[in-house]
Structure 1
């Protein structure tokens, strides 16, 4: 990675750093101001802080934040008309307010906060263009970007203009937030339990099967993922009456009051029996009992079955997100 430990670009509000502590201290208030929109950045940052800088790969991660510019993308309603944060909390006295952030854990895509709220605008467009310029001038070449859909499209276009790369939609997603939990009635036979170290081999196998089914490589290796989730009780299994696991639902650790459910997986031969809905409802219930203000999950926009299931459980759409892959 062609980056210095900490750098900024003249004429740009973006600062790049490889220092996780600097990123956390400067961007924390901004990320916490809209936990739903920043769920991916919050959970990845939390994992890097708890599991180490190389939890997602051998290369050092890169972080960035933008100050100034008068960004106000956290004062508008989101999805259901409710605000996602007051957007008015700032850093310590004398420090400029952070208005955007990203993190990049190569070889994975760059994860970017919303910058082009409501279709863009002068400053939002400038923020996207400046980031593309700063990264390209530093000799950096992310394989893609993932962000709220308007921001993702704007950055993909800026990156195309800056580098002549060809962007292509890789994975469209929809972010949901739990309203009133409505567990399936009647529930399927069996019950839920939190996975333990004795389930590690099963979790590794199902992690691989899940990502094979969606056609996407996992952000973490299967073993590292299983160990991380087991360490805090981050996977719940639904068991048939004879004790056989038939489905799982994972959850991130609680950060900024939000917990995100991921992944939800049922082996093909067990599908259609209500296990996915039951285990998702149980994880949601446990998250609320643990004090979470928001329970979130992403779905594949193109999967009507999963979108319908989560809406029956009480999840409501927040915003669409898109991943773009860059090719030369």
Structure 2
């Protein structure tokens, strides 16, 4: 049993294809990042079957896909190629904890998330006032500013400029807005590109002064339905376990929990 690594997405796909196909939802982060990752890895059993995968994205932080705790501990023991010492690692809670403990390094949890998969999409009841619409180029400045607010709200350091980030999503019609009863945008949500038959809803954000009116539910239902209408087989999203309001909201819309995720940082 051993870890193998490559910088080639094609080589990774060839080696891990069966595992990725068997667990596409649990491997959503790997599937999303593998074409831009700096390094990819897979854990093979004695019979050659792959039972664990990961991606290492700049700045050298591993995202663990579906894997056994044994594979996670072996990764800690073997280390990353070149002796890299990651400052953080993320993935399913059991695997991340097994990896972190096996490193022998001091670590601390910084984020606990839950991965959801959409079952039967259920419109919010009562329906919020207003309507959903696809964002347009004219919305770029507003959405870029909201994205800064979103980053701060989830505890990230916002980038200086999100113009390119939001322009890409808007130009591909993957970002939706909810307009309140007066026609002003009050909430937003985006969906990733569909990869391997699945896409993730993200950037769900409502201005603080507009919260409590169901706008997030309205725009999330709209962007989720758009993904389904485009032929996406599996619609996913992550929620912060520290936010019971959002977790309850997504359940009402038809999202069902899959597995819990953890991000840790190493403090040495």
Normalised by the length of structure 2, the TM-score is 0.91
Q: Partner of 1:138: helix, strand, or coil? A: helix
Q: Which residue of 2 aligns with 1:64?
A: 41
Tell me if 1:111 matches 2:63. Answer: yes
Query: Shift of residue 189 of structure 1?
Result: 2.0
Tell me if 1:183 matches 2:183. Answer: no
Decide whether the 8 Å contact of 2:200 with 2:235 is kept in 1.
yes
For residues 151-166 of structure 1, the aligned pairs below 5 Å read: 151-159=95-103, 161=104, 165-166=105-106
Note the aligned Cα RMSD (angstroms).
2.2
Q: Partner of 1:186: helix, strand, or coil? A: coil
Q: Partner of 1:236: helix, strand, or coil? A: strand
Query: Shift of residue 13 of structure 1?
Result: 1.9
Tell me if 1:144 matches 2:88. Answer: yes
Distance 2:50 2:161 in 1: 32
Tell me if 1:247 matches 2:187. Answer: yes
**Aligned counterpart in structure 2 of residue 203 of structure 1, from 122, 130, 143:** 143
Change (3 A) 1:131 1:234: same
Deviation string, structure 1 residues 189-227 (Cα, Å, up to 9, x no partner): 221112233222222211111110110247997334213
Tell me if 1:101 matches 2:53. Answer: yes
Q: Which residue of 1 aligns with 2:10?
A: 21
For residues 171-320 of structure 1, the aligned pairs below 5 Å read: 171-217=111-157, 222-320=162-260
Query: Shift of residue 16 of structure 1?
Result: 1.6
Q: Which residue of 2 aligns with 1:135?
A: 79
Gaps of 5+ in 1: 1-11, 54-60, 71-95, 117-123
Query: Shift of residue 108 of structure 1?
Result: 6.2
Distance 2:241 2:227 in 1: 24
Distance 1:229 1:28 in 2: 28
Decide whether the 8 Å contact of 1:108 with 1:219 is kept in 2.
no
Distance 2:25 2:217 in 1: 22
Change (3 A) 1:99 1:69: farther
Higher-RCO chain (CA-CA 8 Å, sequence separation at least 6): 2
Consecutive aligned runs of 4 or more in structure 1 exceeding 3 Å deviation: 217-221
Change (3 A) 1:206 1:29: farther
Change (3 A) 1:29 1:196: farther
Distance 2:39 2:96 in 1: 18
Pick which of 127-136 and 172-181 moved more. 127-136
Q: Partner of 1:215: helix, strand, or coil? A: coil
Q: Partner of 2:33: helix, strand, or coil? A: helix
Query: Shift of residue 100 of structure 1?
Result: 1.4
Distance 1:224 1:322 in 2: 29
Q: Partner of 1:282: helix, strand, or coil? A: helix
